[in-house]
Structure 1
Amino acid sequence: MGTTGPRITITYCTQCQWLLRAGWMAQELLNTFGCDLGEVALIPGTGGVFQVTAGEHLVWDRERDGGFPDIVTLKQRVRDVVDPDRDLGHGDRSTRA
């Protein structure tokens, strides 16, 4: 049974063939946050879109943020919405005080 955690959406451009990238990022988020997420949804789009939301928060936008996130950055931004006190391990330590 699922939790009441936030819904993560990854909207990706089908014209640009970014499904594989979106699916991999979804898998990484599920591996990291597990049942703390309500769901992870992949939403097909067009026009070069690549956006990730956590609940009502836009955590990544390819146009706004300049390209694609590395996975550590994406996990940090999702963590900041889902569970700000969570330690993401060794990749996270250099960015947190």
Structure 2
Amino acid sequence: MTTDNSENTRLSTENSHRVQIEYCTQCRWLPRAAWLAQELLTTFETELTELSLKPGTGGVFVVRVGGEVVWDRREQGFPEPTAVKRLVRDRVAPEKSLGHSEK
């Protein structure tokens, strides 16, 4: 089976516009992860192709865009939504204004 370039480009774009939030179930961080997911889905309702919540353990709270870690609680602490929105925007919609969040 072969795929043409447009199909490869579409698949690459879809993957790069996927966000995953991995959160610690032991720490009960699901509400925090769900809230951040809601913020991202509201801001990027047409730009994201998928947003998933991934249960984890050991104090994990990691945000990935297209498989790339953009925020890790162990290194950066808990994220403010505005900071994560900027990081996601830079990868999925660089031309998009975040309005008052950018000031």
TM-score interval, smaller chain: 0.7 to 0.9
Q: Which has the higher helix share?
A: 2
* RMSD of aligned Cα (Å): 1.4
Match status 1:56 vs 2:35: no
Task: Give 1:86 shift.
Answer: 1.2
Equivalences for residues 17-56 of structure 1 within 5 A: 17-56=28-67
Equivalences for residues 1-97 of structure 1 within 5 A: 4=14, 6-65=17-76, 67-92=77-102, 94=103
**How many equivalent residue pairs?**
90
Query: Normalising by structure 1, what TM-score?
Result: 0.87
Query: Normalising by structure 2, what TM-score?
Result: 0.82
State the distance in 2 between where 1:71 and 1:19 align.
15
State the distance in 1 between where 2:56 and 2:75 align.
17
Structure 2: stretches of 5+ with no match in the other structure: 1-12
Moved over 4 A (4+): none
Instruction: Give the % identical residues.
Output: 53
Q: Which moved more, 1:13-22 or 1:52-61?
A: 52-61
Q: If you compute each CA radius of gyration, which structure gives the higher value, 1 or 2?
A: 2
